Structure 1
Amino acid sequence: MTRLFPLLFLFFSGCLFSQLKFDTLSHRRYKTTITPAILVGYHYAGDAKDNTETFRASQMHIIELVVGRIIDYGGNHGAAKVYYAGSDFIINNRHGFFMAPKIGVSSSAGISMGAEVQFQTNFQKVIPRAMPYLGFGGSGGKLTVGYNFRLLKAENFPINTLQIGLTMPIKRFKEKS
Structure 2
Amino acid sequence: MTRLFSVLFFLFYGCMFPQLKFDTLSPRRLKTTVTPAILVGYHYAGDAKDNTETFRASQMHIIEVVFAKIIEYGGNHGAAKVYYVGSDFIFNNRYDFFMAPKIGVSSSAGIALGAEVQFQTNFEKVIPRVMPYFGFGGGGGKLTVGYNFRLLKAENFPINTLQIGITWPIKRFKEKTI
Normalising to structure 2: TM-score of the pair? 0.80
What is the one-letter code of the residue matched to 2:169?
P
The letter for the 2-side match of 1:98 is: F
Please give the per-residue CA displacement for 1:68-102, whole angstroms capped at 9, x wherever unaligned. Answer: 00001101321011000000000001111000000
Task: Give SS of 1:107's match.
Answer: strand
Find the counterpart in structure 2 of residue 135 from structure 1.
135
Query: Matched residue of 2:48: which SS?
Result: strand
Distance of 1:102 and 1:113 partners within structure 2: 17
- The CA deviation at 1:121 is 0.4
The structure that has the greater radius of gyration is: 2
SS of 1:159's equivalent in the other structure is coil
The answer (yes or no) to whether the contact 2:127–2:155 under 8 Å persists in 1 is yes
- The 3 A distance-change label for structure 1 pair 32 and 148 is same
Q: Which residue of 1 aligns with 2:172?
A: 172
The answer as to whether partners of 2:26 and 2:75 remain within 8 angstroms in 1 is no
Partner of 1:109: 109
Q: Which runs of 4+ in 1 moved over 4 A?
A: 25-29
For 1:66-85, what aligned pairs fall within 5 Å after superposition? 66-85=66-85
Unpaired segments ≥5 residues, structure 2: 1-23
Higher fraction of strand:
1
Q: Number of aligned pairs?
A: 150
Cα separation, partners in 2 of 1:27 and 1:76, compared to 1, 3 Å? closer
The one-letter code matched in structure 1 to 2:67 is: V
Greater percentage in helix? 2
Q: Is the 8 A contact 2:111 2:136 kept in 1?
A: yes
Cα shift at 1:30: 2.5
TM-score (norm 1): 0.81
Assess if the C-alpha contact under 8 Å between 1:116 and 1:130 holds in 2. Answer: yes
Does 1:98 find its partner at 2:115?
Answer: no
The one of 52, 55, 60 equivalent to 1:55 is 52
* Cα distance in 2 for residues equivalent to 1:59 and 1:32: 40
Q: Which amino acid aligns with 1:168?
A: W
SS at match of 1:61: strand
In structure 1, the residue matched to 2:32 is 32
Q: C-alpha displacement at 1:26, in angstroms?
A: 4.5
1:54 positional shift: 4.3
Residue 27 of structure 1, CA deviation: 7.5
